[in-house]
Amino acid sequence: MEYIILIISAIFVNNIVLAQFLGVCPFLGVSNKVSTSVGMSGAVMFVMVLATMVTYLIYTYILIPLGLGFMQTIAYILVIASLVQMVEIILKKISRPLYQALGIFLPLITTNCAVLGVAILVIKKDYNLAEGIVYSAATAVGFGLALVILAGIREQLDLADVPSGMKGAPIALVTAGILALAFMGFAGLV
Amino acid sequence: MNQLQNFTKGFLKENPILVMILGACPTLATTSSMINGLGMGLATTFVLLGSNTVISMMKNVIPDKVRIPAFIVVIATFVTIVDLVMQAYVPSLYDTLGIFIPLIVVNCIVLGRAEAFASKNTVWSSVVDGAGMGFGFTAALGVLGAIREILGSGSIAGLKFISGDGILVFVLAPGAFIALGYLIAIVKKVNKA
């Protein structure tokens, strides 16, 4: 039951993009087409769960025993950057189709603040490893949901007559705002 | 390009947030009031100044192939400094900004300036560039924070000038997206004119 609440809260109520403002750059950047947004969501989910797991273990079993808690930011960003690189190399070797589907998005993920953000939030919220993994997976689903919905809307917007000043980023932001408004309806859920 | 142009390009023409649309996460998340926006802007400016200075000093020492990881370590060091200093001296602001202080490390503006400017220019122009970009970032955050605070809670920098509530949505998440969207549209118009 506890996990169900955690999942619903991470996907809908505290949606990572629309309520917590993490990962807004890829949210705006790769939401032009539904197909690319699906690929990006898959890549984010993969890296986010893996990164949360590895950083959690490093924090609890290396940084804390050595009294290096303040090194969290530096350690995490290095771990995430090298993890992304490693995932890219491994994928290229073992699964060509998966690499072609996710590959181009992987380098972008290093600077996706959602990945680092979730890794830090798991420590801040005092989750244990299992909760952390569930939380990061659910958060990634929430990210994917928001991204795919926005991409769907933007595909339709291409056909609409948008005022010239509002074209591109401004209309995407206003659309995202309305989307966030809709997601606020979930607020009472948990 | 003289130093004055180098400094002022970050305000409007190449404003990191409003023209280049970089670093949208802290922009949206920390501008629920003017003070929060300015606090975040100043923290980022410090990191930007520090990383630009150090990276431009070390640009000949860092091998080209590992420059991005090296830049990230330099940036993360300055972020850790800001994090610890703010925790010690302005705990209330630190609590409000929360997770977005450590996240300065993945702010595209900081790495972007390191890669695009500091790694190719002299120390002095990199300092000026960092200051200009930081100022532009802070100004954009302050303006967006002020707009959201005026509309959302009818106050500015914490001083209330209307009785009762404002348009609540502007303090909440949707208002952040909508206000930034219109601000970008306006700046686009101004830059074109």
Mean pLDDT value across chain A:
87
Judged by CB atoms within 8 Å, which residues 165-184 of B form the interface with A? 169, 172-178, 180-182, 184
The answer, for A17 touching chain B at a CB cutoff of 8 Å, is no
A and B: number of Cβ contacts within 8 A: 113
Residue A16 falls inside a structural domain: no
pLDDT for the residue A30: 80
pLDDT for the residue A86: 82
Question: Do residue A173 and residue B29 have CB atoms under 8 angstroms apart?
Answer: no
The number of folded domains in chain B is 1
Place of tokens 């290096």: A68
pLDDT for the residue A160: 87
CA B191 to chain centre: 20
Residue A189 falls inside a structural domain: no
Asked if B75 and B106 touch (Cβ cutoff 8 Å), the reply is no
Question: Do residue A19 and residue B173 have CB atoms under 8 angstroms apart?
Answer: yes
Per-residue pLDDT tens listing for chain B (193 residues): 578 888 888 787 888 888 888 888 888 888 888 898 999 999 999 999 999 999 999 988 888 888 888 888 999 999 999 999 999 999 999 998 888 999 998 888 888 888 888 888 899 999 999 999 999 999 999 999 999 999 988 888 777 777 777 788 888 889 999 999 999 999 888 888 7
Residue partners of A144: CB distance under 8 A and separation at least 6: A37, A38, A41, A42, A44, A45
Chain B partners of A112 at a C-beta cutoff of 8 Å?
106
Buried b (16+ CB within 10 A) or exposed e, A135-159: bbbbbbbbbbbbbbbbbebbeebee
Residue B65 falls inside a structural domain: yes
Residue A19 falls inside a structural domain: no
Residue A17 falls inside a structural domain: no
Q: Tell me the per-residue pLDDT of A43-82, one tens digit each, with 9 for 90 and over.
A: 888 889 999 999 999 999 999 899 888 888 889 988 888 8
Residue B158 falls inside a structural domain: yes
Asked if A105 and A38 touch (Cβ cutoff 8 Å), the reply is no
Helix, strand, coil shares, percent, chain B, to 5: 75, 0, 25
Give the range of the structural domain holding residue B140, as residue numbers without chain letter.
3-185
Interface test with A, best of B177, B180, B186 (most A CBs within 10 A): B177
DSSP state at residue A34: H
Mean pLDDT score, A132-156: 93
ipTM: 0.85
How close, in Å, is residue A40 to chain B by CA atoms?
Answer: 18
The rounded percent of chain A whose pLDDT value lies above 90 is: 37
pLDDT for the residue A147: 92
- The dihedrals phi and psi of A24, each to the nearest 5 degrees, come to -70, -35
A163 pLDDT tier (thresholds 50, 70, 90): confident
The answer, for A30 touching chain B at a CB cutoff of 8 Å, is no
The answer, for B28 touching chain A at a CB cutoff of 8 Å, is yes
A111 pLDDT tier (thresholds 50, 70, 90): low
| pLDDT over 80 (residue A107) | no
| pLDDT over 80 (residue A103) | no
Residue A20 falls inside a structural domain: no
Buried b (16+ CB within 10 A) or exposed e, A41-62: bbbbbbbbbbbbbbbbebbeee
DSSP state at residue B100: G
The number of folded domains in chain A is 1
pLDDT for the residue B43: 94
How close, in Å, is residue B191 to chain A by CA atoms?
Answer: 11
pLDDT for the residue A55: 93
Place of tokens 């410090």: B46
- The dihedrals phi and psi of B74, each to the nearest 5 degrees, come to -60, -45
Residue B88 falls inside a structural domain: yes
Question: Both tokens of residue A84?
Answer: 């992304």
Give the range of the structural domain holding residue A156, as residue numbers without chain letter.
2-10+26-181
Residue A127 falls inside a structural domain: yes
pLDDT for the residue B26: 87
Coil, strand, or helix at residue B180?
A: helix
How close, in Å, is residue B170 to chain A by CA atoms?
Answer: 10
pLDDT for the residue A90: 82
The answer, for B69 touching chain A at a CB cutoff of 8 Å, is yes
Residue B193 falls inside a structural domain: no
Q: Tell me the per-residue pLDDT of A7-39, one tens digit each, with 9 for 90 and over.
A: 999 999 999 989 888 888 888 878 888 888 888
The rounded percent of chain A whose pLDDT value lies above 70 is: 96
Question: Both tokens of residue B8?
Answer: 């002022």
pLDDT for the residue B82: 94
Buried b (16+ CB within 10 A) or exposed e, B2-40: eeeebbebbeeebbbbbbbbbbbbbbbbbbbbbbbbbbb
Closest chain A residue to B28 measured between Cα atoms?
Answer: A21
Residue A154 falls inside a structural domain: yes
The answer, for B80 touching chain A at a CB cutoff of 8 Å, is yes
